[in-house]
């Protein structure tokens, strides 16, 4: 297989060399050209025909956002990964870039004091994203650890949905911007979200989504009581769990070890809602690379809850939802533009049917409390 051809765009000669040497050290990748500003980059694209661009944000002459806008007009499907600093300004600019059509982002190694550490950061964060965006990582049936076979057939009891849990990664900020603003203001249950992002990014993402949504959206805080029609996004570098005590639920944040190389991790959240709410859970797995969410989806399914996923065509990377599907854990798959409607329909239908019968499904913890 031919290597992935990469154009590195950055005004720092040190960063250009660091990226070029590190990326070219992987036999699946080839840096075919570099550029110090957007004008030079635009001239080199037709010359070198890269499969992907890494793009700095702060550059002279033509900055990253201007360059990205031009690239999207000329090459709408060319993958672009923003390479930005982990600062308030860098996070804001990165979210702007994602809204303009950037495929993903990676944070620049900073203050490491060691070239070896910087190289390892690039290998761990940037290279997997390049391969995922260029479709060199196939979605295969993943064997689940332990003696937990994939669940294929079950008898559904149509329980009353009491909470919606969403997990997403690559492409997630734009996907969430399509879903959460379409949730009605009188939505009757809480929504909890894990989006793989570092600190600062998650707060700014929550603020942006709140400005577009009919429901309140905020970065989660420890001890927050879950309320209907309200969404919480796990903060970067913290796992988020839902803890149930009687009829109340609170958010727990912790810095326990990463799972699936992620903190926050979707598996942690999904496992906690399955324990707290039993069958009364709707889990949603959206676009993202990696396997996070598969084991958590099985926890929800084993408890009697439902799992729906974003379909392949509308996903930036069909890693997370694709593996849930391949493991036999998805009840259904939907295009991104239909997810909000389907989430709302399932929640309202489950509650209407239970209300009409004069019944309510209680979780194990609720039954114990009674």
Q: 267-296 pLDDT, tens per residue?
A: 999 999 999 999 999 999 999 999 999 999
Q: Quick check: 286 and 316 in contact, CB under 8 A?
A: no
pLDDT of residue 100: 95
**Once rounded to an integer, what is the mean pLDDT over residues 71-80?**
96
16-55 pLDDT, tens digit each: 999 999 999 999 999 999 999 999 999 999 999 999 999 9
CATH architecture of 4-133: 3-Layer(aba) Sandwich (3.40)
pLDDT of 109 reads 78
Concerning whether 230 is annotated as a catalytic residue, the answer is no
May I ask the CATH architecture of the domain 163-369? 3-Layer(aba) Sandwich (3.40)
Q: Scanning the structure block, which residue is given the tokens 């804001």?
A: 92
Please indicate whether the domains covering 4-133 and 163-369 agree at the CATH topology level: yes
Q: Are strands 306-310 and 332-334 parallel, antiparallel or unpaired?
A: parallel
Summarised one tens digit per residue, pLDDT across range 152-164 is 445 556 799 999 9
Residue 150 predicted with pLDDT over 50: no
**311 part of the active site:** no
pLDDT of residue 152: 44
Chain-centre distance of CA 208, in angstroms? 16
Inter-helix orientation angle 64-74/88-100, to 10°: 10
Q: Of the listed 10, 84, 104, 196, which one is catalytic?
A: 196
Kindly state the percentage of the chain with pLDDT values over 90.
79
- Per the annotation, the verdict on 196 as an active-site residue is yes
Q: Concatenate the DSSP letters of all residues of 237-302 into one string.
A: T-EEEEEEETTEEEEEEE-PPPBTTBSS-HHHHHHHHHHHHTT-EEEEE-SBSSSTTHHHHHHHHH
Q: Which of 68, 72, 121 is nearest to 93 (CA)?
A: 68
The answer to which of 29-33, 72-76, 146-150, 165-169 has the lowest mean pLDDT is 146-150
CA of residue 321 relative to chain centroid, distance? 10
Contact status, residue 238 vs residue 223, Cβ threshold 8 Å: no
The enclosing H or E element of 74 equals helix 64-74
pLDDT of residue 364 exceeding 50, the answer is no
pLDDT of residue 148: 45
Q: What is the mean pLDDT of residues 68-74?
A: 97
- Active-site residue (options: 10, 51, 292, 311): 292
- The secondary structure of 286-319 as a DSSP string is -SBSSSTTHHHHHHHHHTT-EEEEE-TTT-S-BS
Among the listed residues 36, 103, 169, 350, the single catalytic one is: 169
Per-domain boundaries in the chain: 4-133, 163-369
């Amino acid at each position: 297989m031919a290597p992935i051809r990469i154009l590195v765009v950055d005004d720092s000669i040190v960063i250009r060399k660091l990226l070029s040497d590190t990326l070219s050290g992987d036999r699946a990748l080839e840096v075919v050209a570099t550029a110090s500003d957007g004008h030079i980059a635009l001239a080199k694209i037709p010359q070198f025909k890269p499969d992907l661009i890494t793009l700095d944000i702060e550059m002279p002459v033509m900055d990253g956002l201007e360059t990205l806008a031009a690239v999207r007009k000329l090459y709408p499907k060319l993958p672009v990964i923003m390479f930005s600093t982990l600062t308030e300004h860098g996070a804001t600019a990165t979210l702007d870039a994602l809204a303009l059509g950037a495929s993903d982002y990676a944070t620049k190694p900073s203050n490491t004091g060691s070239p070896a550490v910087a190289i390892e950061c690039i290998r761990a964060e940037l290279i997997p994203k390049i391969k995922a965006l260029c479709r060199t990582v196939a979605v295969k049936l993943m064997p689940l650890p332990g003696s937990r076979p994939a669940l294929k057939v079950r008898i559904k009891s149509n329980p009353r949905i009491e909470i919606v849990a969403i997990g997403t990664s690559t492409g997630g900020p734009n996907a969430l911007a399509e879903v959460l603003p379409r949730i009605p203001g009188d939505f009757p249950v809480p929504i909890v979200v894990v989006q793989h992002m570092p600190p600062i990014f998650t707060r700014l993402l929550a603020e942006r989504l709140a400005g577009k949504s009919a429901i309140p959206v905020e970065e989660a805080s420890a001890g927050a009581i879950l309320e209907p029609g309200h969404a919480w996004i796990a903060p970067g570098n913290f796992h988020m769990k839902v803890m149930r005590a009687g009829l109340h639920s609170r958010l727990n944040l912790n810095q326990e070890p990463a799972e699936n190389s992620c903190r926050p991790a979707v598996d942690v959240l999904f496992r906690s809602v399955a324990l707290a709410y039993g069958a009364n859970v709707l889990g949603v797995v959206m676009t993202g690379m990696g396997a996070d969410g598969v084991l958590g989806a099985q926890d929800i399914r084993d408890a009697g809850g439902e799992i729906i996923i974003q379909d392949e065509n509308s996903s930036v990377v069909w890693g997370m939802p694709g593996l849930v599907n391949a493991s036999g854990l998805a009840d259904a798959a939907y295009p991104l533009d239909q997810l909000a409607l389907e989430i709302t329909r399932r929640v309202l239908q489950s509650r209407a049917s239970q209300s009409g019968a004069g019944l309510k499904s209680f979780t194990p913890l609720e039954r114990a409390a009674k």
